[in-house]
């Protein structure tokens, strides 16, 4: 079954994310195709989707398994801010995925800070934001999203799940994508005014996985244990380490 551009456009209300759509059957990585398009002048909101990827990549240089049945795409963002807001964009994307999954698959998902979406203890989606910046200004961000939609568990890594497995039905990829883009348009537009996550804090806080739990986190200083308390409006994670609250800018959480 091929992804239909017409079906995507049918439910898309976004002005930003309807400017340019590039749909492929197979690419190396939608991130790379999008980057070349931006460099040759494609505007903010350009979308590259592919039914499969041969070299899909995740954070920390990990492979991203991208078989048919998943939603693999990248979009171009040019926020009028400095590079320090990039983590907040990732969280807006995470929030938009949770909203789209709830609207279209009718199932609750959580955000594993900073960039994973989990259902029933397993990863269902991931986000990668790759940025090009010029001193204090962002030139562009290629925001790459992978959602395991209609994929059998045997075709995914052991720690992953898919929406079709969790809901026991096939989920329309096109509706999921339009819903995500509509939500991202709403939150990105609000973010450009607020310049931080304050309008979304209540929602994001409620979706935070492992809140009030003691976890292990890899930081630049090595592995530390602590309790997840909250998210700051600038996107950093607030943890209690020892008896002090500490702000974490980047890292990878694992359950104890």
**Applying CB under 6 A, which residues contact ligand BTN?**
29-31, 53, 56-59, 62, 64, 66, 72-74, 115-116, 126-128, 144-146
Q: What secondary structure, in 3-state letters, does the chain show?
A: CCCCHHHHHHCCCCCHHHCCEEEEEEECCHHHHHHHHHHCCCCCCCEEEEEEECCCECHHHCECCCCCCCEEEEEEECCCCCHHHHHHHHHHHHHHHHHHHHHHHCCCCEEECCCEEEECCEEEEEEEEEEEEECCEEEEEEEEEEECCCCCHHHCCCCECCHHHHHCCCCCHHHHHHHHHHHHHHHHHHHHHHCCCHHHHHHHHHHECCCCCEEEEEECCEEEEEEEEEECCCCCEEEEECCEEEEECCCEEEEC
Tell me how far, at minimum, the Cβ of 190 lies from ligand BTN, in Å: 24
Of 62 and 139, nearer to ligand BTN (C-beta) is: 62
Tell me how far, at minimum, the Cβ of 38 lies from ligand BTN, in Å: 14
Of 104 and 117, nearer to ligand BTN (C-beta) is: 117
Q: Are 160 and 124 in contact (CB under 8 A)?
A: yes
Of 55 and 214, nearer to ligand BTN (C-beta) is: 55
Helix axes 86-105, 173-194, angle to 10 degrees: 140
Tell me how far, at minimum, the Cβ of 59 lies from ligand BTN, in Å: 4
Tell me how far, at minimum, the Cβ of 200 lies from ligand BTN, in Å: 20
Of 16 and 27, nearer to ligand BTN (C-beta) is: 27
Overall residue count recorded for the chain in this entry? 256
Of 196 and 252, nearer to ligand BTN (C-beta) is: 252
Tell me how far, at minimum, the Cβ of 28 lies from ligand BTN, in Å: 8
Tell me how far, at minimum, the Cβ of 128 lies from ligand BTN, in Å: 4
Of 61 and 243, nearer to ligand BTN (C-beta) is: 61
Q: Which residue's Cβ lies closest to ligand BTN?
A: 126
Of 149 and 248, nearer to ligand BTN (C-beta) is: 149
Tell me how far, at minimum, the Cβ of 195 lies from ligand BTN, in Å: 25
């Amino acid at each position: 079954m091929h992804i239909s551009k017409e079906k995507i456009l049918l439910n898309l209300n976004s002005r930003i994310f309807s400017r340019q759509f590039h749909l492929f059957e197979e690419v190396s990585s939608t991130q790379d195709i999008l980057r070349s398009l931006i460099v040759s002048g494609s505007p903010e909101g350009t979308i590259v989707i592919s039914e499969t990827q041969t070299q899909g990549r995740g954070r920390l240089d990990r492979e991203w398994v991208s078989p048919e049945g998943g939603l693999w795409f990248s979009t171009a963002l040019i926020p009028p801010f400095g590079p320090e807001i990039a983590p907040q964009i990732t969280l807006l994307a995470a929030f938009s995925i949770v909203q789209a999954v709830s609207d279209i698959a009718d199932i609750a998902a959580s955000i594993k800070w900073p960039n994973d979406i989990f259902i029933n203890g397993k990863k269902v989606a991931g986000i990668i934001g790759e940025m090009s910046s010029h001193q204090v200004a962002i030139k562009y961000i290629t925001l790459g999203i992978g959602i395991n939609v209609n994929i059998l568990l045997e075709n995914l890594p052991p720690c992953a799940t898919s929406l079709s497995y969790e809901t026991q039905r096939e989920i329309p990829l096109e509706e999921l994508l339009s819903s995500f883009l509509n939500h991202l348009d709403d939150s990105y537009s609000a973010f450009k005014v607020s310049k931080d996550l304050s309008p979304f804090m209540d929602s994001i806080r409620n979706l935070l996985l492992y809140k009030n739990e003691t976890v292990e986190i890899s930081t630049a200083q090595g592995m530390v244990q602590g309790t997840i308390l909250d998210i700051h409006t600038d996107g950093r994670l607030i943890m209690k380490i020892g008896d002090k609250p500490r702000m974490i800018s980047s890292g990878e959480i694992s359950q104890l």
